[in-house]
A and B are shown apart, each in its own frame.
Chain A
Amino acid sequence: MPASMPTALPPYVPLHAYLVLAAVLFSIGLFGVVTRRNTIGILLGIELMLNSVNINLVAFARFSGDVAGLVFTVFTISITVAEVALGLALVILIFRVRRTAVADHLDLLRG
């Protein structure tokens, strides 16, 4: 880690502020995943949760002065992009076949 990078910025935003932001974001995402009936809404919720994790990783990396967290975040973002692309493609295909994107209606496998 370069020595020129300050470990904390003035006016110092403390670590727990980042963590709280991440936790709030995660909860909003989880709420969305659990309550949304639309598949796209669920996907959005998942995105929010992933991003809250990213915030955590970045915040920890910044405060511990370890670059590994930043590297991880780059990986996460790229994988998330791929996942969203695949997920949205699936949703569109399902919508074409079933004429619906509501998760409750997708119950073909239900006994």
Chain B
Amino acid sequence: MTPVAMTDPGIFAAIALLLPATSFLILALGYPLRRSGRAAGLVSILCAAGALAAALRAWSLETPEGMTRIAYEWIPQEAGSLATVGVLADADSTIMLVLVALVSLLVQVYSLGYLDTEPRPALGRYFTYQSLFAFSMMGLVLAPGFLQLFIFWELVGLCSYLLIGYWYQRPEAARAAVKAFWITKAGDVGLLVGIVLLWYRAGTFDFLELYDLVRAGQLPVAGLAGVTFCLYLGAMGKSAQFPLHVWLPDAMEGPTPVSALIHAATMVTAGVYLLRRTIWLFALTPDVLHLIGWIGAFTALLAAVLACVQSDIKRVLAYSTVSQLGYMMTAMGAGFAGAGFLHLLTHGIFKALLFLGAGALIHSVGSNDIYHMGGLRRAMPQTVIVFLVGTLSLAGIPLFGGFYSKEEILGAVWSGGLAGPFWMLVAAAFLTAFYMFRVVFIAFWGEHRSVHGAHGVGHHLHDAPPVMTIPLWILAVMSVGIGLFFLRHHAEPEFTAPAWLTPLAVGVAVAGILLAWLTYQVRAISADLLARAFAPIRRAALARFWLDDLFAGFYRHVLLDLSRLIGWIDRYLVDGVVNLLSAWTLIWGDRLRRIQSGLPQDYVYGLAVGLLLLLIWVQWPR
């Protein structure tokens, strides 16, 4: 362990990492405390607040070029250690740490209000999982090498599974949890293979050592594309890239705060973060980067189309998350990881805000369906304002956080030479503005509709309690604040964006808003007319482009049949040989048993016959 001082960001990062672990252990082992519900929540929230403070301190101590590494040898080996665990604190990991700690804290506070009707033991279980998730995500963010990254990568996957299946009595939730687990696992196999292959080539898991190797040009490039592609598979599963994006919309079966934390702000961005961490490695294989860019842009566009036909507010947001993850990945593919990472941070803020806002709506209305809402503008003014802030940010309107990072991405993709993906992203930006304002106009404006939901007809709609609105306001202020910050301090971009980029980006966003306004507010354009004009696309989008059917068919007709065949071989061929041997043993044992009659005369007879045979054998003329 390297000596550390109290001005060392690494030590604060480690404190931030260990606090949620502590609260998880307390809650997991302290049975009565966990069963008590709200008290368990308070323990978890206190630790999350401490983690946020430590993360902020670590971030403020971090300089752009500085890097602190606290590492323990985990698997010692004669020639250096095989694997280390620890904390690698630099500018990227500490800002990400702050994002994780912040959203985690706000979501946990919000959950106290959102899940107030839950039974106490279930609530305690929820906060235990939340603590475990915070710990796992921070461990992933701070990982100094691939091995620790993979361990925490799997841990966040586990937390995602547990929290999606929080209402495990509901079959849809249980199914969605399993689906998410399986599909991300399919990508994770690729990640594991990639990590092992990379270790085979470089002999180390450590990011810094790998970086030194790459910079010294000592890593053989031939065949490296296979390795980076395998690594990308892991990122593809986690960050919901086409065609492994199908789990994310289903993951909305979990509680809404979980969706905000795990499936919008933090865990799904782990893939993007992995690429940000190892972009120097991917830069050696430009073909894979191009593929990442194209898949990212395609995912962004596809998910944006899908979001346009959803009526479940959480599914709209889920597809929008997939779409925005596509944006980030495209920036990575263009080689400008900084732009993608910036969007990751702003998106983390405003998407968490949108999800929590949607949660407040759902909590009040008792339904996910935007057609069950309507006219909420008067009933829930606070929620509507913060939701609008998030929407404008997502749509990419200047002054709001999302605008700058999105423009950064578009500029990066354009100067990265990916013209095709660039226009796909512009189209996706138009659709983003359209589908978000479709939700806004249907749910907030329009006439007041009858409400069918858990709260019953005639229930008076109102804003959520302060425990829920305060996190919303914090996130909303931050969304605007980031925008204002970028307005003042425009960071030096790594590329030169063309001058027409800003008008174009704002133009398509405004056009999207206008179309939504004309269709759903003014009704100058009939929604049915739009639906008819795009009927084939609409039908395909409603069927989710048949991807789920494809996967289900593959599973049912290929995997299951193959498994049956292998099962048959095992049951009848492999087991058959073993059973035959055991049957023979039994039969011959039974037969030989009869020789042991217990009668001395029989033994004498046997002796005599044996002796005779022996004599004959000895005397036999040869």
Contacts and interface: CB of A to CB of B under 8 A. Distances in A.
Interface stretch (B256-264, B455-463, B598-606): B598-606
B599 A104 contact: yes
Interface string B587-622: 000000000001111001100100000000000000
Contacts of B601: 33-36, 42, 103
A110 interface: yes
A40 interface: no
B598 A34 contact: no
Nearest to A35: B601
Interface residues of A, number: 11
Interface in B90-109: none
A104 B600 CA distance: 9
Contacts of A61: none
Contacts, number: 18
Interface string A69-111: 0000000000000000000000000000000000110010011
Nearest to B599: A104
B598 A110 contact: yes
A28 interface: no
Interface centre among A33, A34, A36, A107 (most CB of B within 10 A): A34
A79 B601 CA distance: 23
Interface centre among A33, A35, A36, A107 (most CB of B within 10 A): A33
B619 to A, nearest CB: 14
Secondary structure dominating the interface of B: helix
A30 interface: yes
B598 A33 contact: no
A37 B595 CA distance: 18
Interface in A21-69: 30, 33-36, 42
A103 B608 contact: no
Nearest to B602: A34
B600 A103 contact: yes
B598 A107 contact: yes
Contacts of A34: 601, 604-605, 608
Contacts of A42: 601
A30 B605 CA distance: 8
Contacts of A107: 598
A110 B600 CA distance: 11
A102 B599 CA distance: 12
B599 A33 contact: no
Interface string B577-595: 0000000000000000000
A103 B599 contact: yes
Nearest to A111: B598
Contacts of A104: 599
B598 A30 contact: no
B599 A30 contact: no
A86 B601 CA distance: 20
A28 B56 CA distance: 108
Interface in B263-305: none
Nearest to B601: A34
B615 to A, nearest CB: 12
A110 B601 CA distance: 14
B522 to A, nearest CB: 101
Nearest to B603: A34
Nearest to B606: A34
A110 B107 CA distance: 80
Contacts of A35: 601
Contacts of A110: 598
B596 to A, nearest CB: 10
B155 to A, nearest CB: 61
Contacts of A36: 601
Contacts of A30: 604, 608
A36 B604 CA distance: 12
B602 to A, nearest CB: 8
B611 to A, nearest CB: 10
A107 B598 CA distance: 8
Nearest to A103: B601
A42 B601 CA distance: 9
Contacts of B599: 103-104
A107 B605 CA distance: 18
Interface centre among B598, B601, B608 (most CB of A within 10 A): B601
A107 B597 CA distance: 11
A111 B598 CA distance: 9
A30 B603 CA distance: 12
Nearest to A27: B608
A42 B605 CA distance: 13
Contacts of A111: 598
A9 to B, nearest CB: 30
A34 B601 CA distance: 5
Contacts of B605: 34
Contacts of B600: 103
Contacts of B604: 30, 33-34
A36 B601 CA distance: 9
A110 B602 CA distance: 14
A37 to B, nearest CB: 8
A46 B604 CA distance: 11
Contacts of B608: 30, 34
A36 B600 CA distance: 12
A34 B611 CA distance: 15
A100 to B, nearest CB: 15
Nearest to B609: A34
Contacts of A103: 599-601
A35 to B, nearest CB: 8
8 contacts: A30-B604, A34-B605, A35-B601, A36-B601, A42-B601, A103-B600, A103-B601, A110-B598
Interface of B: 598-601, 604-605, 608
Given A34-B601, A107-B598, 10 more contacts: A30-B604, A33-B601, A34-B604, A34-B605, A35-B601, A36-B601, A42-B601, A103-B600, A110-B598, A111-B598
Q: Give the top 5 A-B pairs by smallest Cβ distance, nearest first.
A: A34-B605, A110-B598, A34-B601, A30-B608, A33-B604
